[in-house]
Amino acid sequence: MAAQPHLLLAVTAHGYGHLAQCSPVVWALARQIPGLRITLLGDVDPAFARLRLPPGFEHIQEASDVGLPMDGPLRVRWAEAMDAYAAFEADYEQHLHRQMELLRRLSPDLVLADVPWLPLDAARRLGIPAVGLCSLTWYDILRESPVAERAPLAVLKRMQQVYAGADLFIRPTPAMPMRWLPNARDVGPIALRRPNRSAELRDRLALPGDRPLALMQFGGIEGLSPLDDWPEQDQVHWLTPSLGGRRRRDASALDELGLAVVDLIGSVDLILCKPGYGTYTEAACNGIPLIYVTRGDWPEEPALNGWIADCGIPIRPVSLGDLLAGAIARPIAELLAAERPIPVEPTGGAEAMELLVPWLIRQDASARPPGCT
């Protein structure tokens, strides 16, 4: 009996976004290839991984790259980040040896990275097919950061060579330009479509049938809880991952309800968030208006904001100061009054799956799947 095809999925544990971005692709692969063996490599929350990936995967809970240090979900500690990347590069041979030993033991048919560079490098050195999938690379993030002049040149060179040397780099819409990549293939937005169960949710929460539902979520990084200081109001009912045990008549905590953010995407009237790939694409692909808190120093933000506006999704920016002061009643009213947009088609998951399948089912290990440049 032939061995089960084996996918190693390596993700950066910078919030929830990287695993959320690639999970629809992994689900599509699992449906297309019954019995697909999946190993997740990344220091991500096991509960979140179980929520996002097909059952039965193995989880190696260790990091294979550098996670950006953050002050809450909106501010990167850039100077500290550059020091961390320099330290990682100084010990690169040790990291690479560990990663190659791990891949030898696991013997995957394909390494899919979103988007640590070390697993891609180790795989290529071992002759294992290696594919990147992400709307950004850490090379682009460092190169376009507000302290780009401090980015270690050795780190930038290493990242650029490894990403460009992968068998393929799948660039889902919307993405940073990354025009320097010789191996890039563009696909559509990657997102989940969810049913609208707002009436059921209002009944469960004993809310009036016309009370708008608003989802507040900032991507899995703690440190921002505006509801701590806001007065209660009747404009919307907030749904938030946690209230820390507090009680508010105008808000409900998902952890107490046994619900997850992904369960609600199709059921809310608006989303309050930071700019991030997963929230933006799921808002667009479910036709949900959003309010975003401007970050200013996040290099991916212009690409995300330009795309979602072009899609016709009603959006409004707010500053962090206005958010903390609770001065967001006007943008909420404007979005609630806006015409509900036509959802964008989330074609990227299926398109990426089609690009990846040949590596996992081909008979001739020397064959090069179509779609590579």
CA–CA dist 248, 20 (Å, integer): 29
B/e letters for 162-181, b = 16+ CB within 10 Å, e = fewer, are bbbbbbbbbbbbbbbebeeb
pLDDT tens string 174-215: 999 999 999 999 999 999 999 999 999 999 999 999 999 999
Please tell me the pTM assigned to this model.
0.93
Classified as helix, coil or strand, 349 is helix
Instruction: Please give the pLDDT value at position 273.
Output: 93
Two tokens, residue 69: 């240090």
Tokens for 142, please give them.
């460092």
What does the CA dihedral 336, 338, 339, 343 come to, rounded to 10 degrees? -80
pLDDT digits (tens, 9 = 90+) for 28-86: 999 999 999 999 999 999 999 999 999 999 999 999 999 899 888 889 999 999 999 99
User: If you write DSSP's letter for every residue of 266-325 in order, what string do you get?
Assistant: TT-SEEEE-S-HHHHHHHHHHT--EEEE--SS-TTHHHHHHHHHHTT--EEEE-HHHHHH
Q: How many CB atoms lie within 10 A of CB 70?
A: 17
Which of 91, 85, 190, 186 lies closest to 145 in space, CA to CA? 85
CB 164 within 8 A of CB 127: no
User: For residue 164, which amino acid is it?
Assistant: A
CA distance 130 to 125: 10
User: What does the chain come to in residues?
Assistant: 373
Nearest Cα to 68, choosing from 169, 151, 154?
151
Short-list 320, 334, 213, CA closest to 263:
213
Number of other residues whose CB lies within 10 A of the CB of residue 210 = 6
User: Which H or E run includes 50?
Assistant: helix 46-52
Local confidence band at 370 (pLDDT 50, 70, 90 cut-offs): very low
Report how far apart the first and last C-alpha atoms of the chain are (Å, whole number): 33
Lowest average pLDDT, out of 55-59, 220-224, 230-234, 334-338, goes to 220-224
pLDDT classification of 1: cutoffs 50, 70, 90: very low
How confident is the model over 90-109, as a mean pLDDT? 98
Q: Is the pLDDT of residue 363 over 70?
A: no
Q: Predicted confidence band at 366 (pLDDT cuts at 50, 70, 90)?
A: very low
Query: In the prediction, which pLDDT does 59 show?
Result: 98
* CA distances in angstroms from 241 to 227, 262, 264, 270, 319, listed in the order given: 12, 11, 11, 15, 22
Task: Say how many CA atoms lie within 13 Å of 121 toward its Cβ.
Answer: 18
How many CB atoms are closer than 10 A to CB 73? 19
Whole-angstrom Cα distance, residue 328 to residue 326? 6
Question: What phi-psi label fits residue 318: left (phi over 0), alpha (psi between -120 and 50 degrees) or beta?
Answer: beta
CB 114, CB 95: distance < 8 Å: no
Diameter of the chain measured on Cα atoms: 64
Tens-digit pLDDT profile for residues 255-308: 899 998 888 999 999 999 999 999 999 999 999 999 999 988 999 999 999 999
> Hey, is 113 helix, strand or coil?
strand
Average pLDDT score over the chain: 93
Place of tokens 């979900």: 73
Q: What is the mean pLDDT of residues 215-238?
A: 85
